[in-house]
Structure 1
Amino acid sequence: MTDRLRIALAQLNPTVGALAANLELGRKALADAAAAKADIILFPELFITGYFPDDLLFKPRFVADAMATAEEFAKATAGTGVTAIMPCVGQDGGKLYNSVLICENGEVVARRYKRELPNDDIFYERRYFERAELQEPVTIKGVSIGIPICEDIWHPEVCAHLVDNGARMLLCPNGSPYWRNKQATRYKLVRDRVAEDNVPMLYLNQVGGQDELVYDGASFGIEPGGRLVVQAK
């Protein structure tokens, strides 16, 4: 087990519905991470489809193509030495989930699913996705890592379950749009979870515009004690 991990945060601007373009954007980021000798690269929520794909998720062909695109991305990890945490839609038992794929050595080695689904005036995830059971950590480079997805960290029991089951850090992919004072809300949220669970968390957000929504990036990391240890623009 290593005592140090180099983690690349892919704060990028995927385009909703543009599977091929998002695949190429992901491959380039992976190559950059490999050149920087990263151990892990984390992508934003539903990176392959773009966030949020809305009623495209009712189209079986789109869902199938998105999952195939994610599998194609996984092949690019071969020979890089980098483990990629790639968010995409996923199916299990005929049900659709907001998920992440753990990709290394050219294949998908694990999947994890989002438990807490927002259902508000912006995102109606319950319209499309199944609510998952509480998830287990994944082991990457010998380190147990929890991967709560966006809304999950608003519910303390999700992170607590991951840490109780051995997670030594939390990596959280997000699709969090901007509004006034939003960053202060994010800081408080993550500091609360870190204080409760005594593990560091990296919070990755996407950047750019999708229709009427603007994503401001501003990804960051908080360590136990509440100190801000990394801040993206």
Structure 2
Amino acid sequence: MRDNRSYREFQENLAPMQDLTLVMAQFDPLVGDIPGNTEAAIEAVREARIEHGADIVVLSELFLTGYPPEDLLLRSSLETRLAAARQRMAEKVVKDVLVIVGYPGYRDGYLYNLAGALLNGQWLGEYAKQALPNYQVFDEQRYFSVGNEPLVLEHQGARLGLLVCEDLWESGPVQQAHEAGAEILITLNASPYHQNKQAERRALLKARAEEIQRPIVYVNQIGGQDELVFDGGSAVVNDKGDLCVQAPHWQVGVMPVRFVNENGNWVPRQGECDPDVEPEESLYCALVTGVRDYVNKSGFPGVVIGLSGGIDSALTLAIAVDALGSDRVHAVMMPYHYTADISKQDAAEQARLLGVDYDVMPIASVVEAFTETLAESFAGTERDTTEENLQSRTRGVLLMAISNKKGLMVLTTGNKSEMAVGYATLYGDMVGGYNALKDVYKTWVYRLANWRNAQEPAIPERVIERPPSAELAPGQQDSDSLPDYGTLDAILSRYIEGDMSAEAIIEAGYDHEAVYRVVSLVDRCEYKRRQAPIGVRVTPRGFGRDRRYPIVNGWQPGE
């Protein structure tokens, strides 16, 4: 009995299926360590070949230098070191694997952001990035020249079009590669994380794939570099933009995808896909990654944290323990007259809960010594925030002394809401080498604390439930000086991330007096933020690389 298949379909099913295995190598290069990154690339290709039978291995943007290399790109020895690295790869990479890797390079006197293709000891070609971003944290036009030519390589019957990161965000380079005959688009990326970035990337991949009706391979970097964090999530979508394979976020490794030629079209087979997670989990992982890589890559044996019994230091302690392990974290409670008993109890309980080294260092005698020394200079003046700040600065001195003596980095604890309005003390609670919460609004601090406790108890519940206070004066609460944090954060996000004027924020429904007070504080406190430690950047407009305002200026907040 004959079935409904045509003879042609029958013959096609009998014919051997043409396929290839592409492996996305999602790794964490160290900026400036060209020899180390080169060896990591060689090992990644070897692993991909042995474990997955890779025909193609793709690494991320500027992998050999790490991203972002910044002014290391201006060093005179750059090209010599990269030439040695490329030669090393040509000699040591396993045979019969097409390797696509990112690096910078001078060509005809101009520096380009390149994607190079290596096969059997020969560099087959280089693609120069065309779209050079110059916004948010990106400053590529400072360094690189613009490429203008597509590169399409044929390997095992597949025509591969190369792109680098921002090229995918602009339709021009994508269309150019398509018109040059690309059947599979491969893009090398160093795409930093911020909240909701993963959804933005997925929407972009879908839109571009639908435009050209071709599958897209998206390989992203992972790990922390100074304030930037890279979340991985390397992915493959089919010609309709449907997600076929996605590597885990926040994990180093290799992820294979099998392409099959069906009727002349290369189709990615369905494979593993990292599941979507709650926004709190994604953000928490970003903070852990930033702290872990900053401390480890800088060579610190551990960190020391001033543990106050408040929610910011409590969350910071949990992040530090998750990033480094309890044996590398030292917590110090430094009580004064205004430190509540419940703060002392909760700090001790959290230290016990997380298993960290814990010291109690009362500061009353030190503060009083400062006060006595300053008495003559302060004669005839009223008590004000100066005396409050002495407490904070005393704590800063003690933490830095521990840091100097033990080689531990001070992990400071201020959140973005406080940093925005200057609710922090220079050379006091702002001292330190790194700040896990620098770009985290206070409302998100509470969300993260609750999420972390839902996984496993890490923060005493009373710390989360009680009203926040700096405890620098009797009965002091944050609400004495600031609007409630829900209102404050809503105003701040509109002013900082949204670049809205004070009047526009008022028109959106916020109190006139509160808005002008908040935006005036933001503007006046730029000098403080310039002296603050760097910290993990997790919003689209963090303080630092993203937001470069003059300290001295005559701009009016209503404008």
- Normalising by structure 2, report the TM-score: 0.40
> 1:66 aligned to 61, 76, 82, which one?
82
Partner of 1:155: 170
Contact 2:208–2:241 (CA under 8 A) maintained in structure 1: no
SS at match of 1:5: strand
Question: Match of 1:194?
Answer: 209
**AA matched with 1:67:** A
Q: Is the 8 A contact 1:75 1:107 kept in 2?
A: no
What is the CA-CA distance between 1:101 and the residue it aligns to? 1.1
Q: Secondary structure at the match of 1:28?
A: helix
How far the C-alpha of 1:33 sits from its partner, in A, is 1.5
Task: State the Cα distance separating 1:84 from its structure 2 match.
Answer: 0.3
Mapped partners of 1:166, 1:158: distance in 2: 13
Question: Deviation of residue 75 (structure 1)?
Answer: 2.1
| C-alpha distance in structure 2 between counterparts of 1:140 and 1:60, whole Å | 35
Higher share in strand: 1
Determine the structure 2 residue equivalent to 1:142.
Answer: 157
In structure 1, the residue matched to 2:542 is: none
Structure 2 residue 268 is the aligned partner of structure 1 residue 222 = no
Q: Work out which of the residue numbers 60, 79, 91 in structure 2 matches 1:75.
A: 91
Q: Which runs of 5+ in 1 are unaligned?
A: none
Q: Which residue number corresponds to residue 171 of structure 1?
A: 186
Q: Is the 8 A contact 1:202 1:220 kept in 2?
A: yes
Deviates more, 1:58-67 or 1:222-231: 58-67
1:117 to 120, 126, 132: 132
**8 Å Cα contact 1:71-1:108 kept in structure 2:** no
Runs of 4 or more consecutive aligned structure 1 residues displaced over 6 Å after TM superposition: none
Q: In 2, distance between residues paired with 1:99 and 1:49?
A: 12
Is the partner of 1:27 in helix, strand or coil? helix
Matching residue of 1:16: 31
* Conservation of the 8 A alpha-carbon contact between 1:7 and 1:40: yes
Shift of 1:60: 1.7
- Confirm or deny that 1:50 pairs with 2:39: no
2:29 and 2:37 in contact (8 A); partners too? yes
Structure 1 residue 33 corresponds to structure 2 residue 38: no
Q: In structure 1, what residue type is equivalent to 2:102? A: P
Q: 1:179 & 1:75 partners in 2: Cα distance?
A: 38
Secondary structure in 2 matching 1:52 = coil
- What is the aligned partner in structure 1 of residue 101 from structure 2? 86
Give the residue type in structure 2 aligned to 1:207: I
Query: Contact 1:67–1:89 (CA<8 Å) still a contact in 2?
Result: no
SS of match in other structure, 1:132: coil
CA distance in 2: counterparts of 1:24 and 1:137, whole angstroms: 27
Task: Compare 216-225 and 47-56 and name the one that shifted more.
Answer: 216-225
CA distance in 2, matches of 1:215, 1:136: 26
CA–CA distance in structure 2, aligned partners of residues 43 and 74 of structure 1:
15
Answer yes or no: is the 8 Å Cα contact 1:71–1:107 preserved in 2: no
Q: 1:166-187 deviations in whole A, cap 9, x for unaligned?
A: 1001011100011000010001
Give secondary structure in 2 for the equivalent of 1:67.
helix
1:3 aligns with 2:53: no
Structure with the higher helix share, 1 or 2: 2
CA distance in 2, matches of 1:18, 1:94: 24
Deviation (angstroms), 1:141: 2.2
The C-alpha deviation readout for 1:104-161, integer Å capped at 9, x for no partner, is: 1112111111001011231211111000113131222232111110000111121111
Q: 2:38·2:64 contact (CA, 8 Å) conserved in 1?
A: yes
8 Å Cα contact 2:59-2:100 kept in structure 1: yes
Residue matched to 2:424: none
Report the 3-state secondary structure (helix = DSSP H, G, I; strand = E; otherwise coil) of the residue aligned with 1:111.
strand
2:376 corresponds to which residue? none
**Contact 2:210 2:241 survives alignment (8 Å):** yes
Q: Please state if 1:108 is matched with 2:108.
A: no
Question: RCO (CA 8 Å, sep 6+): is it higher in 1 or 2?
Answer: 1
1:74 is displaced (CA, Å) by: 2.4
Aligned-residue CA RMSD (Å)? 1.3
Structure 1: distance between partners of 2:206 and 2:121: 35
Code of the residue aligned with 1:59 in structure 2: it is R
Letter in 1 for 2:132: L
CA contact (8 A) 1:10 1:41 kept: yes
Q: Deviations over 1:57-97 (max 9, x none)?
A: 0112023212321232122235x211100111122211110
Q: Percent of counterpart pairs with the same letter?
A: 36
Aligned length: 231
* Rg (Cα) greater in structure: 2
